Amino acid sequence: MTRLQALSPEQASGKTKELFNGIQGKLGMVPNMMRTMGNSSAVLEGYLQLSGALGHGTLGAKTGELIALAVAESNACDYCLSAHSFIGEKLVGIDIPSLTAAREGKSNNPKTDAALKFARALVAKRGSVTDADVAAVKAAGYTDGEVGEIVAHVALNIFTNYLNKTAQTTIDFPVVTAHEEVGVV
């Protein structure tokens, strides 16, 4: 049972209504996570701004989705696993084996593999990564700016993981559960 209410777009007013209208126009729906964030227009706006800014970064949508899956699995967030499995496959075009591997912080692409391992290290070490962790991701070809983007993706996904786990957000994507194989979504 959900612990924080997901506002219906019809209930929203002011800044939240404006943000919901933008989301509806872009996605054709307002997902439950964003409807829950809408209880505070500051929370929703902050999420949308950071997510939007990272969407213009150099890592790209595929790497961003794979990082989201690695972080969601680390935090056992079923909402985010479900959302990013669906988005990764259906909107970004990532194959199921790559989605499954990302959840364990792995990729067949050595550069992506280094990013996922670094992302999981950030989560496991609560940001206190070692010189060796940073050297490894940089040795894979990531610039200082891209390392910063990986950190930002991890932070954004920790935020959504924690929010959804706190709220017990109703999953509005095909359900994927932590620590099980990704099915065809």
pLDDT digits (tens, 9 = 90+) for 153-183: 999 999 999 999 999 999 999 999 998 544 4
The per-residue pLDDT for range 20-71, each reduced to its tens digit, is 999 999 989 999 999 999 999 999 999 999 999 999 999 999 999 999 999 9
Is the same domain home to 21 and 102?
no
Is the same domain home to 148 and 64?
yes
**Percent over 90 (pLDDT), the chain:** 95
Is the same domain home to 121 and 44?
no
Is the same domain home to 110 and 91?
yes
Question: In the prediction, which pLDDT does 34 show?
Answer: 98
Q: What pTM value is reported for the model? A: 0.93
The per-residue pLDDT for range 117-149, each reduced to its tens digit, is 999 999 999 999 999 999 999 999 999 999 999
C-alpha dist (Å) from residue 146 to 23, 99, 131, 169:
27, 21, 16, 31
For residue 9, is it within any domain?
Answer: no
Question: In the prediction, which pLDDT does 180 show?
Answer: 53
Is the same domain home to 87 and 116?
yes
For residue 182, is it within any domain?
Answer: no
Is the same domain home to 65 and 141?
yes
Question: In the prediction, which pLDDT does 179 show?
Answer: 84
What domain range is 44 assigned to?
14-55
